[in-house]
Chain A
């Protein structure tokens, strides 16, 4: 979880399975980082759905998983955005 979270509830589904649910997720402004979690998913295309019920936001993303994959979820201008990377995200 990266930018835009302010004590939010966040739920992440991979396919039809909720793999993550966290309360009071809050972004630290000086780093742009809120929290991070590791989740085991099979290789191949998956559908990732991110819900932020505290802000009434939800979005679904198609992600092609191959080995280690890093997804950065942010709330920007009222929408959920997803960034993917082969390398871990860095924060300063």
Chain B
């Protein structure tokens, strides 16, 4: 990468010092009124929930009342950890709109938009007309917003009362953060020998609106007025060699240059874009500029303007050709940058094309005087356009840029969770805990149809003991698991079962770790790892209001080896089988059980067979309860019927999976789950009166784990000692000594 110096423009608060227009009254001299930006109510406000590490008592959740009930301070349900409010009622191009983003658990978000009218002094009211995201916990239909203005920004606040939707109203007090709604960075680079056009004199060309103020208008100022806190980075020349022998740039060449020369390039969504000034595109003089970045996983990060294209040719007879060209280049730059904000052309606002369309129903604006319209397409052509153009975006475009969900607007963003990972996560700059996602095998490769169980390791990386919930890693509400197959959208794992634990804090000493298995193959979303190929899995854990994000783990699912696997897969990847495997069996889901039986018979050497044996054997161990119709029950017409245990059949299946195939089982199930299944098997044997059998099972466990080595790591001697002690206890006729201990740590 070529080193070149860069200058960083200071961050502007975005406050536009607009002069108030004054009229000259008869006989009254004009008195200029100085601007007071702090008198504006518009801007970005924020609220966040700070939970101290020690929570002395549970937070009470009020019972919702029907109708417009009492106002609940802080909210009826404390399900959001941070919120933002964007109030847009005054200042430059006010849209009389408020929007908000509520962030709950990790990447869970709710977004709302309301249209506002003034309803009192510094007070606005309106109906919520747009909701997006986790809206079930946001039933409100109306907002009332009252603003406290102040000379001092820290004293400015907005009180929002959410009401409607059939529940109690909710009040939130937001603190002022900034006059801009979103940040954005522009990095301007130029091909060697070209110039980057960053600003124009708005009065340089005589064809303009009479009311257009004279100023040096810059690209950053255009977007500041659109509501952004703009920072700019001015680059240095990009070698023309990047354009190839013809010195004209192709889209791929520009994309390569962007990856090389853009200092902020990253494969992720961010409020930043690269603006490239060059001579010509390979399309020739007909292309004046292009948002070329529809390549790769993150789109809309790069734009280009071609200084020697048709935009550099003023119309014949133009009164000021040089100014016309400068204005046209400037206009083109803002136009292409508008595309990077995901704005469509003015005449195509309603267009749905190849499955993609507007974020809300929009009307086309073929005559709009906007950066997003072609000047030569309007009635009267470019002269009519510029006679009426105020160097701005249209109101619907401003509404979109300021208030649409950020992922619709932000450069590089894609579908929710897709390539965007957890950038919405509330990650501490100084984390106390570290979460590692890993596999208990040398290579993260799985057989076709082999259910996938990963391992979580949570470590205290601070210098102080940390209090955490004892079952933190097995609490569904705390974990967000994302799975993504290469080339496909990301999916969230939705476990079949939600586990709620009695709160019980435990101490993690500095340097200590806890472990837990994580089954990821099937859930309410179906089988997420069914297809052969490469996947990335990543986990976020919510701890005391902070998000701990794991490393992304890449794993491979191998293709089927033969006809039998392909044939059985059609029945195996069903919801029934998914539930049986995830929940350790069912005697009710008969079709799923039949499939698993067939798997055992036709694929005995495949790892899926040992999972099938566990799924079939486990529910046979004990008497099984069925919930059935029972009209003799006067209340619910439900009754319970019992199916007797089948201990011999259960023992046969479990021994086959956990003892005979122990080497494959420990690798396939992972160390935590393997030990858990074996411990549970030996407990069952002991409870049946077979202490000797239970002891032998523990001996087998000891031998298997003692031999186990994964990438140079062996099972800790403490764990082995525990197994040996348990085997001794069984030998002496004592029972099980363990709870489910999530610790089969290796020596690393």
Contact = CB atoms under 8 A, between A and B. Distances in A.
Interface of A: 3-4, 6, 27-33, 36, 88-92
B288 A6 contact: no
Contact of B290 (A3, A4, A30): A30
Contact of A91 (B286, B344, B348): B286
Contact of A92 (B287, B294, B348): B287
B311 interface: yes
A92 B344 contact: no
B46 to A, nearest CB: 34
Interface of B: 283, 285-291, 294, 309-311, 332, 335-336, 339, 344-345, 348, 353-354, 374, 376
Nearest to A27: B353
Nearest to A35: B283
A33 B287 contact: yes
A27 B294 CA distance: 13
A21 B259 CA distance: 37
Nearest to B356: A29
Nearest to B340: A30
B680 to A, nearest CB: 57
A88 B285 contact: yes
A32 B374 CA distance: 11
Contact of B286 (A3, A4, A36): A36
A31 B289 CA distance: 8
B238 to A, nearest CB: 20
Contacts of A32: 345, 348
Contact of B335 (A27, A33, A88, A92): A92
Contacts of A3: 348
30 contacts: A6-B353, A6-B354, A27-B353, A28-B290, A29-B348, A29-B353, A30-B290, A30-B291, A30-B339, A31-B290, A32-B348, A33-B286, A88-B285, A88-B310, A90-B286, A90-B288, A90-B309, A90-B310, A90-B376, A91-B283, A91-B288, A91-B290, A92-B287, A92-B288, A92-B289, A92-B290, A92-B311, A92-B332, A92-B336, A92-B374
B344 to A, nearest CB: 7
Contacts of B376: 90
Nearest to B316: A87
Interface residue SS majority, chain A = loop
Given A6-B353, A30-B339, A91 B287 contact: yes
A25 to B, nearest CB: 13
Given A90-B311, A92-B336, A31 B353 contact: no
Nearest to B287: A91
Nearest to A88: B286
A33 B310 contact: no
A31 B287 contact: yes
B294 A30 contact: yes
Identify the 4 closest CB pairs spanning chains A and B, nearest first.
Answer: A90-B310, A92-B288, A92-B289, A30-B291
A90 B305 CA distance: 13
A6 B24 CA distance: 57
Nearest to A70: B286
A42 B217 CA distance: 48
A6 B286 CA distance: 21
A50 to B, nearest CB: 20
A27 B344 CA distance: 14
Nearest to B315: A87
A88 B311 CA distance: 12
Contacts of B310: 88, 90
Nearest to B290: A31
Contacts of A89: 286
A90 to B, nearest CB: 4
B380 to A, nearest CB: 15
B162 to A, nearest CB: 37
Contacts of B309: 90
B286 A29 contact: no
A6 to B, nearest CB: 6
A36 B285 CA distance: 13
A55 to B, nearest CB: 13
Given A29-B344, A30-B339, A92-B335, 7 more contacts: A6-B353, A28-B290, A30-B290, A36-B286, A88-B285, A88-B286, A88-B310
A33 B311 contact: no
Nearest to A26: B354
Nearest to B300: A30
A73 B651 CA distance: 75
Most interface-central of B294, B344, B353 (chain A CB within 10 A):
B353
Given A92-B335, A92-B374, A33 B289 contact: no
Nearest to A6: B354
Nearest to A89: B286
A88 B291 CA distance: 21
A26 to B, nearest CB: 9
Tell me which of A3, A29, A33, A92 has the highest count of chain B C-beta atoms within 10 A of its own C-beta. A92
B330 to A, nearest CB: 12
Pick the most buried of A28, A29, A30: most chain B CB atoms within 10 A of its CB.
Answer: A30
Contacts of A6: 353-354
A10 B284 CA distance: 23
A80 to B, nearest CB: 16
B376 to A, nearest CB: 7
Contacts of A27: 353
A3 B294 CA distance: 18
Nearest to A7: B354
A51 B332 CA distance: 33
B283 A33 contact: yes
Nearest to B303: A30
A6 B336 CA distance: 22
A79 to B, nearest CB: 15
A30 B294 CA distance: 10
Nearest to B331: A92
B391 to A, nearest CB: 16
Nearest to B288: A92
A17 to B, nearest CB: 26
A68 B637 CA distance: 85
A92 B377 CA distance: 12
Contacts of A88: 285-286, 310
A3 B309 CA distance: 21
Nearest to B291: A30
Nearest to A83: B377
A89 B287 CA distance: 9
Contacts of A30: 290-291, 294, 339
A92 to B, nearest CB: 4
A28 B291 CA distance: 10
A19 B217 CA distance: 48
Nearest to B294: A30
A32 to B, nearest CB: 7
